[in-house]
Structure 1
Amino acid sequence: MLITCIVLAVSFFLGRCSSGSRGGEVLHGGTTVTVPPVSVDTVYVPQPCDTVFVPVPGRVDTSRVINDYYLQKIYRDTVFVAVNTGAGRDSARAILTDTIYQNGIAGREVNFTFYPKRLVRDNSVGLLSTFGYHNLTIMAEYRYRMMKMYVGYNLIDHAPVAGVGFQIFSW
């Protein structure tokens, strides 16, 4: 008797687990009936584990809260960074723009600009030549910032040459 009850209970549970929820054919009253598969469209939404009531501090303007909820707020944050590279001290700027709508982030944008330090030399030495009618000059040049000083020798006239120059603009 006990074994019969156990076999019936096991067959009952096995029958429940293998019901027609997966679809297929079932024998019902001597005729075969096709059962469509059951689609599950339930989405699990996690619930908070605890809820704490916080009293409202004073009077609250409900229409102001609702208007504020539907405002689109844009926040910008500018970050400057100085980077020490092998060529010198470069800098970069990042502008972060967040758009907040209905208490959530509706959009995010990042603009990044890199400013490399240009190689600027204060001193330089050069060798140059000029030539023309009765003129073949070889000169040495010393440049300090925007000033240039020339010293050379004219090979045709056999005369020394000297000069001073000033840089007006550069590109």
Structure 2
Amino acid sequence: MKRNVKCICLCAVIALFAGWAGHWSGSRCRSIVRVPETVIYHDTIHSAVPEPKVVVREVPADVDTAAILADYFLEKQYLDTIIERPYLRVELTDVIARNTLLDRTVVVDYNQPVVYDNALSLGSFVGLHNCVLLAGYRRKSWEFKAGYDLYNKSVVVGLSKDLWRW
């Protein structure tokens, strides 16, 4: 009976120590539970200006020449957001002057989340007739575990797979 109480107390102390160590090390570095880190890609594409299609129309008799010249030399910049998604934003900017497309710029902002596929874990199970210390290795959604049962004095192995993530 005394031996069972000692083993249970030892398992409880080890479990508390493992929990404290996990909390301490988890608060000092990244954890797979936290919001994922993102890598930001910002790129600007300067494409060649395409040749325009020319359409000739008849000139009306009453024409305001000053207004036509003012509009002809006016530089117009058009900004258009083509795609806007949670991780991607594409903008198109055109500059038009003297009846010509002078410049076209495409700006791409892509925020790619970083996914960590590997992790090491440490834990324990404490029950009525067992006290197991475990170490594990996680690869994507699979976790491989190995440990030692202090109560039954035996080696234990385990395998787990994530069924649902949120």
Instruction: Provide TM-score, normalisation by structure 2.
Output: 0.38
Instruction: Provide TM-score, normalisation by structure 1.
Output: 0.37
Pick 1 or 2: higher relative contact order, CA cutoff 8 A, min separation 6. 2
Considering fraction of residues, name the structure with more helix: 2
